[in-house]
Structure 1
Amino acid sequence: MEKINLNILNKKNSVILIIIFLMIYLPKIVFALNYYKDFKVLINDNEPKTNKTLVRLTLEAPLGTRMMEISNDDYFDGSLIEKYINTKEWELSHKKGVNTVYVRFYDSVGDILATVNNIIILTSLADKNNDGMVDSSDLELIFTNKGLNNLATIGAFNKREVFNIFDFNQMMIDWSNLSVIKTK
């Protein structure tokens, strides 16, 4: 019996098949990769930290997005599917530290288009002086020289005063005698 060689996939044919495959599927792959970049959720305009559990979500999704579902966990336990809107007030879980908000986007027939998430750190510190940062000036601390009976103030970080660099230098010189008093 004679053997018949059906080797039609030589190098030339392989290259042609790869080119045809790429022509058909590459645009779909690129579209899918770019499509999912269009779904976003920002928490408090992408601030890294907050001291409040109520936050503002800014949602972005391409045309065709009709519904959304928001959750504090990736299982979407107890969450509701609602009409898609661009902004929404949202209550974080009350745990301190990193909080994640998950959002699912749906089309008009209820198919999931994408699931995205973002994080924010929930902290007990507050921006008391409203300068846009939670920093040492919000702590309202006074640094004093504990070696003196009259508790002479070396420097103060509070919302009423700007910390003087000369005070800071004096603090570094007298570090071993430094005492911290919380004003509030």
Structure 2
Amino acid sequence: MLNCLYRYKIYVEGNAWSVSEKYILACDSPVLFVTTLFQDILSRALVAGKHYWPINREHICKSIKFAVDWGNEHPAQARLIGEQGSRFVREEMSMDYVYDYMLHLLTEYAKLLWYKPTVPEKAVEICTESMACPARGLHRECMMGSMERHAAGFEPCTLPPPFTEEEAKEIADREAEVLRNVENMEG
């Protein structure tokens, strides 16, 4: 893939949720991840310093320069961060997990509805093939790769319980420590 030809990849959040985070992490390149105030369903388990290199959003240019210089001086460690990020994507961000989560989410959401949804009389069904067939190249490959191939023969996933306050604090403290260490290294 052409977008995987670079030694480093940079991820910066946009104004809305984006799937690019997954594809950027999948390239075996160390990802320079501009810190964010938000987490999504895919990134909650990412660990700064293990799956990506954190970039300080207050000093982006200085932080990126330091990260690249550090990575060039420590190529084996930088490569390991890239490989661990890619492994995380392969093992923890599979489309099966995403579809499982979406089924769970929609099933739970449906329980909250006060009415029974119906298909409008003049609705037109759009199937995956009709959307993917006209696509070409990498666009088609990505669409076909994310296509659901069968309906699940089981109930939606059972999500683990939310983090306890103690667990959430432990995760936040670990993340803060990594960010402090990187900030101290940057000087």
Structure 2 length as normaliser, TM-score? 0.17
* Structure ranking higher on relative contact order (CA contacts 8 Å, 6+ apart): 2
Structure 1 length as normaliser, TM-score? 0.17
Q: Whose Rg is larger? A: 1
More strand by share: 1
More helix by share: 2
